[in-house]
Structure 1
Amino acid sequence: MVAVKILRTHDFQRLAETARREQRLIMLLVSQVDCPYCHLIKEEVIRPMILGGDFREQILIREILMDEGERLVDFQGQETEAADFAHGYGVFVTPTLLFLGADGRELAKKMTGVNTIEMYYYYVDQSIREALKKLPGKHS
């Protein structure tokens, strides 16, 4: 099996520059180290998406851990706790998927938790398509 790593980000200002320049959506997985459902989503949905090249030219897939002590730079360039950053988006449960524009705005409703893993990719696909329609500079 091919090892596929989901890139973690600690600098949203830099990520936003890339997203803006390449006119891409940011799909952000908010997870925790010991979250079994986070691992399930990574193995069953996100890694296969990366391997299959799904939306390769349209989205940037990244992950943050909201475990204690994790720090990052937000969209405004301020250093903050990853948990505080996530809470700013109303994230209190992991896994949560956020669909963000380069300005940090949510472009589709966040996906919280896992109801049915068999249907999860379908819902991710729908959310990505909805968000891409709202992405500045993109006309679908």
Structure 2
Amino acid sequence: MEKFPQMGGELHKIFGSPESPFKTVSDNILQYTCGKRAECIELRRKLLEPKDAHLAKLLTGIPPSSTALFEERLLAEFVRAHPSTVRPKPRNPPRLPPPASVQPFPSTQPRRERDPALQVQEHKGSWHYCFPIQAQGHQEQPLTQQ
């Protein structure tokens, strides 16, 4: 400031005067932000309203705090006076199973038991079905290895 004494007046004119563009824009941004915050708080508070109109009116009478949707002390008094309004929600609500098209193959298909009469053997690098009852016309059939 010692090198540029005229800078103090210029800075005050740009940033500090009520008619400066910076002050006007920053006030508008602050107003918009506070309005959005109030709108969000109002919507969240409506989600927590009880179905009973009388209790809902009492709950809306509790103002929001700077850190929570409701002023903590007044909300605690309200809950003590009306304990039925606060119901604990289940921690793990039951979920519907996903559609069959999404489920993995093993969980949707029953497990097939292996036929004891049919055995699979590896013979010289290729797979064969071996039927123990070869006298009835069954023969070994080669399977392609995948």
TM-score (norm. length: structure 1) = 0.21
- Structure index of larger Rg: 2
Greater helix proportion: 2
Q: Which one has more relative contact order, counting CA pairs under 8 Å at least 6 apart?
A: 1
The answer to which structure has the higher strand fraction is: 1
